[in-house]
Amino acid sequence: MAKYGSFPGARPRRLRTSPVMRRMVAETRLHPADFILPAFVREGVGEPVPIGAMPGVVQHTRDSLKKAAVEAAEAGVSGIMLFGVPEDAKKDALGTAGTDPDGILQVALRDVRAEVGDDLLVMADLCLDEFTDHGHCGVLDDQGRVDNDATLERYAEMAQVQADAGAHVVGPSGMMDGQIGVIRDALDQIGREDVAILAYTAKYSSAFFGPFREAVGSSLRGDRQTYQQDPANWRESLRELALDLEEGADMVMVKPAGPYLDVLARVADAVDVPVAAYQVSGEYAMIEAAAEKGWIDRDRAILEALTGIKRAGARTILTYWATEVARTLD
């Protein structure tokens, strides 16, 4: 007689026998609405500029960005997160181009919002690193250290101009203490209670950000280890999470995604707000580079990586493959 609680009666392979069987019993499913497309828009260029370390990704012109936004909306992607790349001459110690209503990021926000309306969530990276001549995410003091509280004043102004430019969502990514509360207050002061905050809650000081520095034309000198999280720690993320929620975060994020799936799972288990994860430039570049050499199956690797991120607890994934994968799923 077969023993149905163990082999040979119990045969888990029965549920793997065909594609339709595997699809029916799948515990995790990707959907176009899971995705947000990060996109870069560069000031003063007439054609999209390829990013060498991120094959297939470009620094957009204003026109090509609008086209990319429309394509993302048509594919069913939920949002587009915009990063502005100003001309080098416009960078300064305070990152004033980031709060200029006519700066490249604000212009791009207006462009995209006018193009897609409410069919795509228009999101803005809220940070100064693209706009400062030293490349840090905040204002420096007289000893060259990032001044947390002086930076918060700049973030408050930045949130207001981004909201005025049409952002549905702002994404504070600088990892300054108190940034969520200050930004929430700044938005509410101008009657923009409807603008949501996607907090970069657990953003690690990661080597996987390397290609992103090229993407935004970073002028960084030194590193960001005094304000981004130590890769050795996960309890610290839960403390950051509690503070961000107390200050009014509507959604929270773990960044990078793949190397921090354990952190992502813990964050997802701890909260009742939507959790996002950012599949960062280095994660993208590794798969593209290995696929180019024929070492892995590109399409399967992309879907496997994204499925793993969602399985770990992400409701939303920022990925440079957003539109491509959404079309495949559709």
* 281 marked ligand binding residue: yes
Work out the pLDDT band at 222, boundaries 50, 70, 90. low
Spatial contact of 266 and 234, defined as CB atoms under 8 Å apart: yes
Q: How far apart are CA 130 and CA 96, in angstroms?
A: 11
* 218 marked ligand binding residue: no
Q: How far apart are CA 207 and CA 183, in angstroms?
A: 28
The per-residue pLDDT for range 38-65, each reduced to its tens digit, is 999 999 999 999 999 999 999 999 999 9
Work out the pLDDT band at 221, boundaries 50, 70, 90. low
pLDDT of residue 309: 98
**Token output for 116:** 């897609």
Q: Which residues is 37 bridged to in the sheet?
A: 80
Spatial contact of 305 and 256, defined as CB atoms under 8 Å apart: no
pLDDT of residue 213: 73
Domain at 29-328, CATH from 3.20.20.70, 3.40.50.150, 3.40.250.10, 3.90.400.10: 3.20.20.70
- Of 81-85, 150-154, 228-232, 255-259, the least confident: 228-232
* 4 marked ligand binding residue: no
The per-residue pLDDT for range 260-274, each reduced to its tens digit, is 999 999 999 999 999
Q: How far apart are CA 245 and CA 253, in angstroms?
A: 12
Report cis status (omega within 30 of 0) of the bond before 256: yes
Q: What angle do CA 268, 120, 267 make, to 5 degrees?
A: 10
Would you say residue 4 has pLDDT above 80?
no
The per-residue pLDDT for range 64-78, each reduced to its tens digit, is 999 999 999 999 999
pLDDT of residue 135: 79
Q: How far apart are CA 156 and CA 170, in angstroms?
A: 11
pLDDT of residue 297: 98
pLDDT of residue 3: 67
User: In this structure, what DSSP letter does residue 137 have?
Assistant: S
Q: Give me the mean pLDDT over the 242-270 stretch.
A: 97
Q: Give me the mean pLDDT over the 217-229 stretch.
A: 73
> Which residues does 171 contact at the CB level (< 8 Å), separation at least 6?
81, 123, 124, 125, 126, 197, 198, 199, 200, 253
Q: For the stretch 35-56, what's the b/e string if a residue is b when 16 or more beta carbons lie within 10 angstroms of its beta carbon?
A: bbbbbbbbbebeebbebebbee
Would you say residue 1 has pLDDT above 80?
no
Nearest to 135 by CA among 97, 86, 91: 91
The per-residue pLDDT for range 298-311, each reduced to its tens digit, is 999 999 999 999 99
Angle between helices 298-311 and 322-329 (to 10 degrees): 90
pTM of the model: 0.94
* 130 marked ligand binding residue: no
| Domain regions of the chain by residue span | 29-328
Phi/psi of residue 50, each to 5°?
-60, 145
Q: How far apart are CA 138 and CA 152, in angstroms?
A: 8
- Of 133-147, 156-170, 281-295, the least confident: 133-147
Active site residues: 203, 255
